[in-house]
Each structure stands twice: as C-alpha cells, then as structure tokens.
Structure 1
Amino acid sequence: MQKKIFVVDDDDKIRQLLQIYLEKNNYQVVSAADGESFLAQFNKIGKDISLVILDIMLPGMDGFAVCQSLRKISEVPIIMLTANAEETDLVVGLELGADDYIAKPFSPRELLARIKAIHRRLVDDRKPLNRLRYFYFKDFIVDRVERLLIDERGDMVKLSGGDFQLLQLFLENPGEVLSRDRISEQIRGRESGPTERYLDVQISRLRQRLGDDGKTPLLIKTMRGSGYVFATEVTTSDDSR
C-alpha cells in the first residue's frame, strides 16, 4: 500500500518537483501552498497521511505555527524545510515537535532518504519485540508505549519521535559508549555530517528534559572523541510503580 505524504510549501516549483519525484518512488502526494489550507485538509484526511514535509517560510501562518497547531491534533512525523541554516530554526523546530529538518536548496534524493528512515523507524517501533513497557532510571520512568517521560512528581512530558528515539537508544544501552555516527544512524537513518548540529541540539534538549547539567552532566556524559554514554543504572518492567 502506498504511503501518502503531504507537502506544504508556497513555492509551486518545489511542490511540483517533490510530487513528481515522490510519485516516481511509489508515494502518493497531496500538497498545500499555505498553513491554513493545509490544516483544513489535514483535519479531513490526516489519518491517511504518513508524513508531512513542512516549509518554515510560509505566507500567513509560518511553519513553526503550523507545526505547533498540528502537534495538538496529531503525532504524524514532520520534516521541516528551512532556507535558513541558523541553529535557532533547528532548535525551535525540534521544540515544537518536528522529527527532522533539511536545509534549502536540498537534493530530492537526500529528502527521500530522510523519509524512508522515518518510515523505517515507525515500523521498528511497532514490531512486537520482547520489550518491557517501562524503563526506570534515576528519578524517572519512561513509558515506551505512550512515549511519556514521567518525573518523580508524576509530571508527564510527551516525547516527540526524535527525542523518544534518542532516549530509548541510551536506555537500551546504558554504560555503553555510543558514537555520533551510531546515534545518527539509529535516529535518522544516516551518519552524522562533520558540520551538522542536529545531534548536538538533540543531546542538549534531552539533557534539559532530564535536568542534566550541560556543563557537568551526570546522566548523558560526553566521551571526548568517542561519543556519549548513559551513565546510570536502568531497569525495565511491564508494571508501572
């Protein structure tokens, strides 16, 4: 069954290019030129959409506002398109729940690789593996089914796809040094580029969620020249405590 992708961009040429390219690669494509019409259409057909490609620079509602509105009604994966390589765009997009981003101008082949990586991740998440539902570490619980991070007060945070994948990778490999390339391969389907800031931003965000001081982290430690290690005991259970 063909997956359906929604492209939101006010550039007619980009919409047409992506429609032709993605349809050649066995996807169905629907599109919109602005955020308001996208949200109106998504409310009708959202259950059939497997991924959204969302430009940041849209007329009227910008991509950030659209992403924020979409996250109130759906967990559909979002890849954001940005003409600005500034780290602030990346940070804001991830904070609002985007799963990945790609800077303009981009290669359709690279975008296709990102799409496939996200779809593979979703399939892996749904496999009936012999995994227990809850992780316990320090003062936290992670519910892998609901993708919730629960602190000692019982406060819950719903984790986005990228945040959940990163935390789950650490929780499944406590005490093991994970290289940047391995982490990037697991959560994005490809190795990390030498100048990319995506992983740095995600690590920083995850540390903040865990109250882990970025200067002297106790949970996610940086191993200079090697990668990162999750430096605490982790247990699992099918029972919530």
Structure 2
Amino acid sequence: MEKWRGKFAVITGASAGIGEEIAKDFLKNGINVIGLARRPELILQYGEKIVGEGYGKVYAHKCDVTSLESIKDAFKWIEEQFEVIHILVNNAGILKSLKILGDEDCGDKINEVIQTNFNGLVHCSHEAYRLIKKSEDYGFIININSNAGHRIFFPAPGLSHNVYHGTKFAVTATSEIMRQELIMQENDKVRVTSISPGVVNTELFAKAGHASPTNFYGNVPSIKAEDVANAVSYLLTTPYYVNITELTIKHVSQKF
C-alpha cells in the first residue's frame, strides 16, 4: 500500500456499504479519496472522522452514475481540481426486485439497474482512464462485481433479481475486455481487476424491496463490507507487474 500513498482514488457509490469501507481503508493508508455518490454529505461525515498524520484526505462530489451528463460533470470537476487520478473503484450498484417476464410494469426499475450497474461502470471507466493515463504513472481500475456475475442463482425467496445477474455478467465480460484493450495499447502501467463478492451484509437487499433483510442475513451466510475492502487493499499490495484479473470472496459456508 505504501507505493500508493499520496495518490488519488475515485470511488463511486462511496456514501455507504462497501464503498464507504473501501474509502476508509484508503484514507487510513494515505490514499486521497474522491468519493462520488448521490449523497456526498455522507462521505464528508465519515471522512471528517478519519484524520491523522499520514492519512489521506477526503473529497466528495455529487454524481448519479445513471446519468452520462452527471458522470462527465463529475470527472470534469475532478480534472479541474486534481488534474489526474490513479485509482478508480467502480462500486456503485443497485438491486431491484423484479421479473423480466413478469406482469409488473417495471421498465423504470430495469433501466435503473442497467444504467447503474453497467452503463455507469463503463462511462466512469472511460472518463477515469483518461485521467489515469494523463498522470503517466501506474494506475488501477477495480470493478466491484458479484458472485451473481458468474452463476445464476435465486438465494432469497420472493426476491427476483434477474436483471442484476445480467448486468453483473456484463461486468465480468467488460473487465476482461478492458484488460485486453490495455494489452493492445501496450499499456502495462494500468491494471484491471474484477472483484466478485458473495452475499455481503449491506443495505442492498433492503433497498431492493426485500421484506425482511434482517431475517435473510440470519439465514444466509454473509461477509462484511470491510472484508471486501480488505480484498481491495490486498490488490494494491501486489507488484505492478502482477494482475489479479478476477478475485472471488465469499463466506466459507456460502453454498452458491
């Protein structure tokens, strides 16, 4: 982690859950965090509590990754304020309870999931890469994927997240596409990793409309958001020439 001290990392969906824990870990290791979220005030609230000699600084900017205009505005602000960045963590993601072939009129829900989980990741990566490349330094793009991006399963009775699976499979493919694009560009300074957690105890299921998320987590083995943050930090400790392209992390007792 020492080699990233003083560098700048952009984290989407940094206001809570996995994004918050990654940001906290970065700050404690001397990495400056630029948090993007629809609730930037929450980023500043926890960031103001993580201060000390050798710690990174926290910055926050409002950004809705479902909007290309919002993404472009955010990265324009980042370039004006900091000129370059070194790390991007595509963490923003949502889950909605819906069926692709159901009777419910859920077009808006479908679009929101696709735009957040996939479109937002692609557009943020495009904008961030330009600023990483501009730094002429080493860089990292880390995509927070999911176990659902590799295998179809329905762990929660009454909760259908079929579109979520599709977007996460797309993240798996896109991560590998970006890695190969870098090879074709002969850019060996920037690495791409897809991290696929299993069930993580966050507010994701509650926001998706699950009637009893507390009971769900009581019945399904889950890991904590800080466990995923630890995995991200591990990636940053590896040598520049090592690219862990896919990292899966789940509870030892998780069956699917």
- TM-score bracket, normalised by the shorter chain, equals 0.3 to 0.5
TM-score, structure 2 normalization: 0.40
Instruction: Determine which structure has the larger strand proportion and give its number.
Output: 1
Structure with more contact order per residue of length (Cα contacts < 8 Å, sep ≥ 6): 2
User: If the length of structure 1 is used for normalisation, what is the TM-score?
Assistant: 0.42
